[in-house]
Amino acid sequence: MKNIITLICLLFISQNLFSQHRIELKIKGLRDSTLYLVHHYEDTFLSQDTAKVNASGVAVFEGKKKLPLGFYVVAMGRSRIFDVVINDQNFSMETDTSDYTNHLKITGSVEAKLFQDFVSQANAKAQKLKGATPAQKQQIYGELEQFQKDYTKAHAGTFTSNILRAGVDIEVPPLPAKPTLQDTIAQSNYYFKHYWDNIALSDDRMLRTPFVGKRMDMYLKNISYFESDTIIQIAENIIKQTPLKSDLRKYVVGKFAQKFIAAEIMGRENVYIHVAEKYIINDPDSGWDTSSIRRNKEYVTKMKPVMLGKKILNMDMTDTLDIYTPLYGVKADYTLVMIYDPECHHCQETTKKLLEEYPKLAVKGLKVYMACGTRDKKKWLNFVREFKTKPFINVYDSYTMTDFSNNFNTTVYPNLLLLDKDKKILANKKLDIEQYMKIISVEEGKKSGKK
C-alpha cells in the first residue's frame, strides 16, 4: 500500500514538472479539428500552442513551458473563434458551435471568467442595437460606454480592468472658440503628457494585447521631432513605469533604441546612446542576453566619437605623393570628410555630384578631405585619376594608423562628416549639397549674431 501511495505521489510530481500549462477546452458540435492558441503582439499574432479536437469535441492545450500571460485568441485556421485572458496556467473552458463567445463557460481562472463575464454582458446589451432607430442607437452606445467604465472601475487592479481601460482614448481638453498659438501648444503638451494614462505600463501582461505596439510606434514617430533632451526625459518617464526585468520593459527600451539608433534627424542618436547605456549595457537588472549587450556596446562605442558637436579624431593619412597630410593639417572654415571605397558605386556617384556642386561649397571656405577607407592603394590611385578628384584633398592610410570603423563609425560607404574650423562635427551623415549649404548658413548666422 505504501508503495502504491509513493507511486501516485511520484506520478503527480512528474506531471507537474513536465506539464507547465494545461488548458482543456470542450466544444459541443466540433470534432476532428485543429485549434491554435495565439496572442497579440504589436499588429500581429504569435502562436503559442496547438491542440487537436477529438471525436468528443475535447481539445487540450498542454506543454512543458508556461504560457506568457496576456490577451489570447483561440483560432481555427484563419478564423477567430473567441478571445480569452490567459492569467492562469491550468483551467478549463466549455462552449458550443452555435455561439462560441456568448456560450463560453470558464472554470478555474478568476481573470478569464471576469473578462468573459464582461464580454457576455456587453454583447447582451449590444443586441438592443438590432432594429433600433439612430437616436436609440446613440443612447445604447452611451450605455455600453458607461458600462465599460463602471466595470473597469469596479474591478480596478485586475488584468481585465487594464485591458478595458486601454481601449479608451484619453480626453484632451478642447480648444477655445478662437484658439491662440499658446492654446494649441498647451493642448499638444497635454496630449503627449497624458498619452499613456490609460495604459497600465506596470502590467507586463499588457505587452501581449492589441494596445501597446501601435500606440508606441505612433508615439515615437510624433516625438522624434523633439529635442534630444526632451525625448530622453520622455523615455525615462515611460521606462521607469515598467516592471524590472520584464518583457514589457525590454520591449519599450528596444523600441526607443531601434527608433533612434539611425534617427532621421541628426543629433537624435543621443537618445539611443542614453537608453542603450543605461538600460541595456550598464543595467544588471535589464534581463538582456550577453549577445545583445555586446552588440549595443559596439554600436555605442562607434557612435560616440562622431556625435554632433564633438571634435573629430585626427586621421594620419598621406596624399598621392606619399606626403603626410593629416586631417588636422587642413586649414579651412569647413571640411567635408568623405570616407569611401573606390569600388563602391554609391561612392562614385557621390563623388561626381560633389565635383559638380563643389564651386558652391568652395565659396563658403569648404575643402573636401577624400579618405580612402580600403587597403588597395592601386585602386585608390586609379579612382583619383578616373574621377579627376584633384580639387579635393586625396589621402590614403599608408601606415594603417586610422580606424575608420570604430573612430569614425564607418559601417557603410560613403561616410560623410561635415566639420567646422575647429574640426567639430556639424553633420554626421550623408546629406544633399543643399542641406550642407543650409547647415553652413546657420553657422555663418551664429557667427554674425543672426538667428
pLDDT in tens, 246-302: 999 999 999 999 999 988 889 999 999 999 999 999 988 778 999 999 999 999 999
pLDDT of 6 higher than 50: no
pLDDT of 8 higher than 80: no
Q: What confidence category does residue 15 fall into, taking pLDDT thresholds of 50, 70 and 90?
A: very low
Question: Nearest-CA neighbor of 338 among 352, 350, 326?
Answer: 350
Instruction: Quote the mean pLDDT of the chain.
Output: 92
Q: What confidence category does residue 449 fall into, taking pLDDT thresholds of 50, 70 and 90?
A: low
In the prediction, which pLDDT does 450 show?
57
Percent of the chain beyond pLDDT 70?
A: 95
Q: What is the mean pLDDT of residues 325-350?
A: 97
Residue extents of the structural domains in the chain: 17-108, 196-306, 327-448
The residue type at 252: V
pLDDT of 134 higher than 60: yes
Cα–Cα dist 421/419, whole Å: 7
pLDDT of 12 higher than 50: no
In the prediction, which pLDDT does 380 show?
98
Q: What are the distances in angstroms from CA 397 to CA 316, 323, 388?
A: 7, 11, 20
Beta strands in 29-133 (DSSP E): 33-41, 44-53, 58-63, 70-76, 79-86, 90-96, 105-107
Which grid coordinates are listed for 46?
504569435
In the prediction, which pLDDT does 18 show?
60
The alpha carbon torsion through 248, 249, 252, 256 (nearest 10 deg) reads -160
CATH fold of 17-108 reads Immunoglobulin-like (2.60.40)
**What's 327-448's CATH class?**
alpha beta
b/e code 173-212 from CB counts within 10 Å (16+ = b) = eeeeeeeeeeeeeeeeeeeeeebbebbbbebbbbbbbbbb
3-state secondary structure of 32: coil
Q: What are the distances in angstroms from CA 324 to CA 264, 337, 419?
A: 36, 17, 20
Q: What confidence category does residue 3 fall into, taking pLDDT thresholds of 50, 70 and 90?
A: low
Could you tell me the pTM of the whole model? Answer: 0.87
Q: Is the peptide bond before 305 cis (omega within 30 degrees of 0)?
A: no
pLDDT of 95 higher than 60: yes
pLDDT in tens, 196-240: 999 999 999 999 999 999 899 999 999 999 999 999 999 999 999
Q: What is the mean pLDDT of residues 8-18?
A: 45
Cα–Cα dist 417/410, whole Å: 10
Q: What is the mean pLDDT of residues 388-403?
A: 96
pLDDT in tens, 142-169: 999 999 999 999 999 999 999 999 988 8
Give 279's DSSP letter: I
Percent of the chain beyond pLDDT 90?
A: 83
In the prediction, which pLDDT does 43 show?
81
In the prediction, which pLDDT does 169 show?
84
Looking at 209-344, list the stretches that DSSP marks H as alpha helix, in order from N- to C-terminal side.
213-223, 228-239, 247-260, 269-276, 290-303
DSSP string, 156-200: TTSHHHHHHHHTS---PPPPPSS--HHHHHHHHHHHHHHTTTTS-
In the prediction, which pLDDT does 188 show?
87
In the prediction, which pLDDT does 280 show?
96
Sheet holding 393-396, edge to edge: 393-396, 366-372, 334-340, 415-419, 425-427
In the prediction, which pLDDT does 189 show?
86
